[in-house]
Amino acid sequence: MAALVYASELTLLSIGFTLTYLTSKIPNFAHGTYAGIGIYVSYTFSKILGISPYLGFPMAFLLGGIFSVLVYLIVIKVLTDMGGGAIVLTIATLAIQIFLTAILQVYAYYLREKYSTYTMQFLLKEFDFAFGGFPGIFIVSISMTVGLVLVLHYMLTRTKMGIAMRATAEDPELASVLGININKIQLFSWFLTGGLACLAGAMIPLWFQSSPASGAMMITSIMAGSLLGGFDSIYGSVIGGVIVGMSEIMLTTWGQSLIGVWVGEYRPMIPMIFLVVILMIEPDGLQGAYKKFAASDFGENILKSIGLMKEDG
């Protein structure tokens, strides 16, 4: 169950990460920290205001989006206009990550000072509700992720905004020639990624122990999920997020029961191993593997028999 919850949260984060990479061509290291913002929105709603953390989800979405847009407007856009390369932009996102994490720590200390509660390491399970024998977050996180993926799919394929977004991702210059306002698209996609990340973050403390830095620590898993999906395919990142999230929890649990408790310490290594193995075998991830598979004779036959690929002529 924990694996499913974690996987669904990671999927949301991976989608956002991939979306940023698609539209702005930079790996956003601050992405995990948006989840940290979500964690503290949940915390504020449940512990400080004393209402259900679920009511904080819209707030988390908005706040994450606003933060993300601010990051884009103040730093990323200025640097892009100045002609900064991918490396410079990535360093800038790293700096933002450090900055935002420190701000979260400061906020946590502020809450501790003011309300004298535990703010550094906490779990919000007691604010969760139970539904048919399952904890609420189990149902909410999975259904929300599935729903959001479907909405996103609809948006990207059917609405004008989504198609414009995909066009911008493919070729920004061509898109602008066709009369698409790239600025607006970028703003929207940054808002969306920040919102999704923050929403995923808001669900984390309902099941997992959280701290101000736990969002930033998830970045490796997010990147592994996104890389497994191929880094520039949103559907790939959905699959990648699920696989990395599931394996991270399940391999740790199995390892602990089979080999020994000490395996648990090496949990952060699992996404790293994913990263390294993917980079060494297939740098384009599942998308590249799929392309290779479809290009080979064997794969072509199978895809045709399933009906995924059209018959020639």
| Sites of contact with another protein (CB under 8 A) | 26-27, 29, 75, 78-79, 82, 84, 86-88, 90-92, 94-103, 105-106, 109-110, 113, 220, 223, 227, 262, 265-266, 268-269, 271-272, 275-276, 279-280, 283
Considering the complex, state which of residue 56 and residue 229 has its C-beta at the smaller distance from another protein: 229
With CA atoms as reference, report the closest residue to 275 among 219, 214, 215, 225: 225
Whole-angstrom Cα distance, residue 200 to residue 286? 23
Considering the complex, state which of residue 110 and residue 115 has its C-beta at the smaller distance from another protein: 110
Relative orientation angle of helices 234-258 and 136-158, to the nearest 10 degrees: 160
Considering the complex, state which of residue 96 and residue 152 has its C-beta at the smaller distance from another protein: 96
* DSSP letter for each residue of 267-282: TTHHHHHHHHHHHHH-
Q: How far is the CB of 235 from another protein (least distance, A)?
A: 21
Q: How far is the CB of 42 from another protein (least distance, A)?
A: 21
Q: How far is the CB of 261 from another protein (least distance, A)?
A: 11
With CA atoms as reference, report the closest residue to 38 among 14, 70, 68, 61: 61
Grouping H, G, I as helix, E, B as strand and the rest as coil, residue 210 is strand
* DSSP letter for each residue of 120-153: SSB--GGG--EETTEEHHHHHHHHHHHHHHHHHH
Residue 57 near residue 63, CB atoms below 8 Å: no
- DSSP designation for 181: -
Residue with tokens 């100045």: 82
Considering the complex, state which of residue 165 and residue 219 has its C-beta at the smaller distance from another protein: 219
Considering the complex, state which of residue 11 and residue 97 has its C-beta at the smaller distance from another protein: 97
φ and ψ at 131, to 5 degrees?
A: -140, 110
Take residue 65 and report the two structure tokens written for it: 């989006």
Considering the complex, state which of residue 152 and residue 275 has its C-beta at the smaller distance from another protein: 275
Considering the complex, state which of residue 53 and residue 215 has its C-beta at the smaller distance from another protein: 215
CA distances to 56, 63, 98, 123, 285 from 42, in Å: 6, 12, 21, 10, 34
Whole-angstrom Cα distance, residue 225 to residue 14? 6
Considering the complex, state which of residue 32 and residue 205 has its C-beta at the smaller distance from another protein: 32
Q: How far is the CB of 98 from another protein (least distance, A)?
A: 4
Which residues, including other chains, have CB under 8 Å from residue 44's CB and lie 6 or more apart? 56, 111
